[in-house]
Amino acid sequence: MNAPFTPPAPESLACEPVVRVRRLSRRFTLKGVLDGVDLEIRRGEFVALLGRSGCGKSTLLRALARLDHEAEGDGEIVVPERRSVVFQDARLLPWKRVLDNVILGLSGPDAEARGVRALLEVELLGREASWPYELSGGEQQRVALARSLVREPELLLADEPFGALDALTRIRMHALLKRLSEAHRPAVLLVTHDVDEAIELAHRVVVLEQGRVAADIAVELPPDGPERSVRFAALRRQLLGRLGVAEREAAPTLISSGDPP
């Protein structure tokens, strides 16, 4: 794996946000979930969304994906037309081969070539004709990523996409997602419950609490060196504190700091 490296926040941070959420509220029968969420994401910006289980992360993401038909609420949402969702389950159509899953709904003579290129990017070249059941969980998730990226989204929404993967596969997926999001530069909203994952990947970490954005912290880590480890640890402690977890309670992970492996 490449040395973990958080690039400097993109210069385009100065430009217009592609996602704008104002005073968003959502409620399910009798149960308020979101209560005045404000959030902006700029082009090329990678935002991680943290929060306790049941705090409404998925609800927010589904609202941005325009999938929340059953929730009531109001507020203002501006999202780009071209957006892709990576779900927690890879959600491949079992009756379509890998390549057909990737290019599902694409038209045009170059659709297949684009699909093959996307599979190359996720390191799955040669598996075009496999059935989804013949792939491992991580491979399926990579196909789902290829399916999202082949559409060249302006906004990539991902709801715990690596939640079901083992720690090693997850590290490889982090590197992959990082590389791909830097190459394609969509705005990214990644829902996760893994603080390390959030710091590792994102330019900004947003914490959702009691239906609102309770913290919005820029991740500005030097690319390498002992300084990085110290700052990583401090940020980790700060975020865990916000989530109401003392650090010694948090499970140790394989990427506890920026040490090169």
**Distances, alpha carbon 56 to alpha carbons 74, 106, 220, in Å:** 15, 32, 26
- Residue 30 binds ligand ATP, judged by CB under 6 A: no
For residue 186, what is the DSSP state?
-
CB nearer to Mg ion: give 58 or 181: 58
In the bound complex, what is the minimum distance in angstroms from residue 148's beta carbon to ligand ATP? 19
- Residue 89 binds other proteins, judged by CB under 8 A: yes
167-184 helix and 137-149 helix, angle to the nearest 10 degrees: 10
Sketch the per residue contact string, 35 through 74, with ligand ATP: x for CB under 6 A, - otherwise.
Answer: ----------------x-xxxxxxx----------x----
CB nearer to other proteins: give 115 or 211: 115
User: What is d(CA 1, CA 157) in angstroms, rounded to the nearest whole number?
Assistant: 24
CA atoms within 13 A on the CB side of 60: 35
CB nearer to ligand ATP: give 28 or 259: 28
- Residue 58 binds Mg ion, judged by CB under 5 A: yes
Residues in region 184-203 near ligand ATP by CB under 6 A? 193
User: What is d(CA 140, CA 121) in angstroms, rounded to the nearest whole number?
Assistant: 14
Sign of dihedral through CA atoms 50, 54, 58, 64?
negative
CB nearer to ligand ATP: give 58 or 101: 58
CA atoms within 13 A on the CB side of 26: 27
In the bound complex, what is the minimum distance in angstroms from residue 58's beta carbon to Mg ion? 3
- Residue 84 binds other proteins, judged by CB under 8 A: yes
Residues that bind ligand ATP (CB under 6 A): 28, 31, 33, 51, 53-59, 70, 193
